[in-house]
Amino acid sequence: MSLSEDEGLLNSDSEGMTEEKSLQKDNSITAIISDESEISSNDNAEHEENQSMTKGAKAFSDKDNSWIRLKKDTKDGEEEEEESEMEEEEKNDFELEAEEEEKNRVLVEKEAKENLEEDLNKEGTMGLGGQSEAVHDLNEMKERIQDLVNILSDFRRKRDPAISREEYMNRLRSYCAKFYCYNEELIEYFFDMFSPKECLEWLEANENDRPLVIRTNTLKTRRRDLAQALINRGVNLDPLGEWSRIGLKIYDTPVPIGATPEYLAGHYMLQSASSMLPVMALNPQPNERILDMCCAPGGKTTHIAQLMKNTGVLVANDLKKERLVATVANLHRLGVTNAIVTNYNGCRFPDVMGGFDRVLLDAPCSGLGVISRDTSVKLNRTIKNIQANAFVQKLLLLAAIDSVDANAKAGGVVVYSTCSISVYENEAVVNYALRKRHVKLVDTGLSFGTPGFTSFRTYKFHPAMTMTRRYYPHVHNTDGFFVAKLVKYDNVIPVDKEKSEEDLAIEKALEENRKAAEEREEVIAGKKEAGKEKSGKKEGEKRFGKKPRQDKPKHNKPRQEKPKQEKGTEGAANAKEMTPKEERKMVRNKKDGKKRFMMKQKKE
């Protein structure tokens, strides 16, 4: 090929290349123009989306993903970065942060509203769970209990219209009875006393132990000295509270708190915080006559004695003789010297002894306030048991009122207390005493506590019942307790014209108790006379010798005559034969006599 032909080919190739380049430039220009138009349209769409979001667009959630911006298919990654950088350069950093915070705040608010609506819908649709939905474990049951309590706490908003409140309550009672191991009768009783939320707190509090508390015995030491001695032994403690000057709360101890030298020396008493409250309400004074009608095991009795400073007369009575053993031991250990221990039925006490200045009645009860210490109460107690206890408590309270003197300096004070939260055993008993005796309720003088009930179910009580005090573990961190203070203003027993069946039953029981007391006194008097006769016979025998016994053979064998002893030269005429033991003793005495005689001669 010639040179001219090669040059022609090169020129034709270069012309083709230039034409292709021009076509590529035209295509790129048209693409850029179309991209710019798309970018402008997308920017307008973004602007509209932002405005709609600020006006109330839906918040982000798992179900609604419309808040996520879709990536622009027409843009390359580099162009998006360049545009975002240009926008950031145009705005200040503070403005950008403010915008982001505002967007986040709006989104969070919307999400919270949606979540609340979802929860309400879930609670409403969940309802009672249905009988087909079985509870597989305790955690699931606990969650259902909490859900039901939440619904009942705001019933109008959170309820399911198809389900009544009674159906919700029935399911909640059933779950609580199974989860906390109560009988359903007690659970129903608790839900009548408390709101669902407070009842759940009460049930939870009964699953935990109360703090360990000791009471300082001021007859032997001071609280400051006792606390220092226990701290030196490694005990972690604190004062009980502002309301008590003698209590100490024990958190941790390396030694048994009931076996320290201070305990054995009687410097303190193991006693719950709530059991100190009745004695504080009684407010005993020195040189008074006070009765503790149900005293065992002696915690309140020793507390009364230390407030009396071992003066006056303190009668500690209890029906069960075996429980008085612990009472006597505590009285001796704590150094109480003004107490008299008796073993009578409290209902009969007015016929035995009366005229007291103050009486403390810590009545036997169902123990619904100390479930954390005795879990058997959960299943063993029924409403019938509680009402039976209330009958005995009414008898005891009337006897306690009859035992005090209305003309005493203190005015005849009676403090009634129980370790139960039952209305039948507390307000109902006090209300009965207000109707049957000339007494009135007064302030307990306690600085804290919940006022008593003035109504419960179909019962209406005296308006002054608000002066009584209730204590709960979930409110005051003490055992469940009740304290009421009564003052007697007349010794005359009122007579009712119209008597109910309960009044007749109580009067019959009191009459039977009086007759039993008289019979017991006769038996005791007869035993005393018989004892005196026996003691007189013994004294006469000692003075004048025993009466000659009749010749009766000790055994059924015939008596054998002993051979007569011959007269000896040294012994008496009727000398008896000596046993080997007597012979050895005689020889020993002779030797001792010779020794003493020789020693005497040497001295002389």
Domain boundary among 205, 230, 248: 205
- Provide the token pair at 76: 């390359």
Domain count, the chain: 3
Which pLDDT does position 453 carry in this prediction?
A: 96
Q: How far is 387 from 396, CA to CA, in rounded Å?
A: 14
Are 321 and 463 members of one domain? yes
Tell me, yes or no, whether 15 lies in a domain.
no
Are 288 and 401 members of one domain? yes
Tell me, yes or no, whether 446 lies in a domain.
yes
Q: What is the mean pLDDT of residues 109-125?
A: 59
Sign of CA dihedral 170, 173, 179, 185: negative
124 labeled binding residue: no
Query: What Å distances lie between residue 329 and 212, 219, 269, 332, 341, CA to CA?
Result: 21, 16, 12, 5, 11
- Provide the token pair at 258: 């009931």
Q: Quick check: 442 and 487 in contact, CB under 8 A?
A: yes
- Range in 22-26, 450-454, 544-548 with the lowest mean pLDDT: 22-26
Which pLDDT does position 160 carry in this prediction?
A: 86
- Does the pTM exceed 0.75? no
362 labeled binding residue: yes
181 labeled binding residue: no
Are 192 and 226 members of one domain? no
Domain boundary among 230, 256, 271: 271
Which pLDDT does position 58 carry in this prediction?
A: 43
DSSP letters along 247-274, please?
EEEEEE-SS-TTSSHHHHTTSEEE--SG
Are 254 and 392 members of one domain? no
394 labeled binding residue: no
300 labeled binding residue: yes
205 labeled binding residue: no
Percent of the chain past pLDDT 70, that is, above it, reads 70
Strand ranges (DSSP E) for 4-111? none
Q: Quick check: 431 and 465 in contact, CB under 8 A?
A: yes
Q: What is the mean pLDDT of residues 40-63?
A: 47
Tell me, yes or no, whether 174 lies in a domain.
yes
Which pLDDT does position 33 carry in this prediction?
A: 45
Assign residue 446 a region (left: φ > 0; alpha: ψ between -120 and 50; beta: otherwise): beta
pLDDT in tens, 473-486: 999 999 999 999 99
DSSP state of 161: T
Are 297 and 341 members of one domain? yes
**Of residues 317 and 79, which shows the higher confidence score?**
317
Burial class (CB within 10 angstroms; exposed 0-12, middle 13-18, buried 19+) of 292: buried
Domain boundary among 205, 223, 242: 205
Q: How far is 362 from 349, CA to CA, in rounded Å?
A: 15
Are 254 and 286 members of one domain? no
Which pLDDT does position 5 carry in this prediction?
A: 45
318 labeled binding residue: yes
Instruction: Report the Cα 175 to chain-centroid distance in Å.
Output: 22
Tell me, yes or no, whether 334 lies in a domain.
yes
Any idea what the CATH number is for the domain that residue 261 is in?
Answer: 3.30.70.1170
Q: How far is 591 from 585, CA to CA, in rounded Å?
A: 10
Are 291 and 387 members of one domain? yes
Average pLDDT of the chain is 80
pLDDT in tens, 163-221: 899 999 999 999 999 999 999 999 999 999 999 999 999 999 999 999 999 999 999 99
β 339-342/313-317 pair status = parallel
Are 303 and 217 members of one domain? no
Q: How far is 148 from 159, CA to CA, in rounded Å?
A: 10
Tell me, yes or no, whether 401 lies in a domain.
yes
**CA-wise closest residue to 371 among 208, 239, 527:** 208
Q: Which amino acid is at 290?
A: I
Are 200 and 295 members of one domain? no
**CA-wise closest residue to 247 among 284, 279, 278, 217:** 217
Catalytic residues: 419
Are 441 and 365 members of one domain? yes
- Provide the token pair at 127: 């309802």
pLDDT in tens, 535-585: 666 565 555 555 555 555 555 555 555 555 444 444 444 445 677 777 777
Are 327 and 465 members of one domain? yes
Kindly tell me if the per-residue pLDDT of 466 is higher than 70.
yes
Residue 221 belongs to domain spanning: 211-271
Are 372 and 426 members of one domain? yes
Q: How far is 315 from 295, CA to CA, in rounded Å?
A: 9
- Provide the token pair at 249: 């709360």
**Of residues 514 and 173, which shows the higher confidence score?**
173
Q: Which amino acid is at 447?
A: S
Tell me, yes or no, whether 69 lies in a domain.
no
Tell me, yes or no, whether 347 lies in a domain.
yes
Tell me, yes or no, whether 101 lies in a domain.
no
β 469-471/450-451 pair status = antiparallel
**Of residues 321 and 506, which shows the higher confidence score?**
321
- Provide the token pair at 570: 């040294």
**Of residues 409 and 6, which shows the higher confidence score?**
409
298 labeled binding residue: yes
Q: How far is 587 from 580, CA to CA, in rounded Å?
A: 11
